[in-house]
Amino acid sequence: MLTKQAILKLARNLLLVVAGLMAVAYLGVIGYLYINQRHMLYMQVQGHETPDIKGLKIEDISLKTADGEALQAWYEPPKPGMPVILFLHGNAASLEKGKWRYIRMHKEGVGYLALAYRGYSGSTGTPTEKGLLTDGLTAYDWLRATGFKDSDIVIHGHSLGTGVATWLATQRPARALILEAPFTATSDVGAERYPYIPVSFLMTDKFLSRERIKDVHMPVLIAHGDKDRVVPFAQGERLFALANEPKVFIHMHGSEHNTLTRDGVYNAYWRFLGLPEDPADPVP
């Protein structure tokens, strides 16, 4: 028969063992997330993509970065007097996945340069925050070298691309900045998804748009769907509050993270840019 003291000692030892196992498991989860964080952030779609969209004369071009990478991009010039949009895609996107954006821009007569970051589509290299920022700068500078003025260029980012676009707008002047489903920081998204993990301390590529947006001095449009389950709607609202005037917030009722194009957001973009709306906006 165990004494009361022996039972208490056994219980304490069992609790210590359980606590130790839980600590090991917790540290294991942290270690896994830390080691694999870039694989989780950059969900690359790889392989060279050839433009083949009926009615669109898209040029498949290659851009050379200052650090030696070759970036695939798709380009269609604008009609005379129309702007050109530098489009920066999201984390699990590819050039081909932008099809319905290109159709809308083509119909409007707006030009576009759709960039595939390093490690995406047919671009060389491995994605990092520093690398993606370099890629965005390379694409902008290519447009300037092609003959476009600052006032011709609209910087447009979706999801992960909003982090690149916001930074780029602090480095180069442009006609406007469009942020579609933006975060305040990728580390903020991670902290909401993993509330018991010190994400801000562990994360390497934070894309701190909430700190950078104050240095953007051009018209800003932020569009966000209130059913977004990837980047919380509240983060779009917070980023908008931090942005300088002039600025416009487009609340997309019922829209999810990847449905804003389908749900008609491009007509909001055209209004913002002072362009005519398309009453027959194509729906995928």
- pLDDT over 90 (residue 125): yes
pLDDT at 144 over 60: yes
Residue in the structure block whose two tokens are 């934070």: 206
* 46-272 CATH: 3.40.50.1820
Which phi and psi (to 5°) does residue 194 adopt? -125, 75
In terms of DSSP H, where are the helices of 42-83? none
Say which range, 46-55, 123-132, 225-234, has the weakest mean pLDDT.
Answer: 46-55
pLDDT confidence of residue 197? 72
Q: What is the pLDDT of residues 211-234, one digit of tens each?
A: 999 999 999 999 999 999 999 999
Q: Which residues are catalytic?
A: 159, 228, 257
The residue among 182, 183, 200 whose CA lies nearest residue 191 is 200
- Residue by residue, DSSP assigns 223-260 as EEETT-SSS-HHHHHHHHHHSPSSEEEEEETT--TT-T
Q: In what order do the strands lie in the sheet with 176-180?
A: 59-64, 70-76, 111-115, 84-88, 153-158, 176-180, 220-225, 247-252
The structure tokens listed for 141 are 């500078």
For residue 21, is pLDDT > 70? no
Residue 2 pLDDT grade (very low, low, confident, very high; cuts 50, 70, 90): low
Q: What percent of the chain has pLDDT over 70?
A: 86
Instruction: Give residue 191's pLDDT band: very low, low, confident or very high (50, 70, 90).
Output: confident
pLDDT of residue 243: 98
| 96/138 Cα distance (integer angstroms) | 21
Task: Compute the mean pLDDT over every residue in the chain, rounded to the nearest whole number.
Answer: 90
Neighbouring-strand partners of residue 86:
113, 155
| pLDDT band, residue 157 (cuts 50/70/90) | very high
Structure token digits, residue 13: 């030892």
Tokens 């409007």 belong to which residue?
Answer: 108
pLDDT tier, 1 (very low <50, low <70, confident <90, very high otherwise): low
DSSP class of residue 245? S
Residue 219: predicted pLDDT: 98
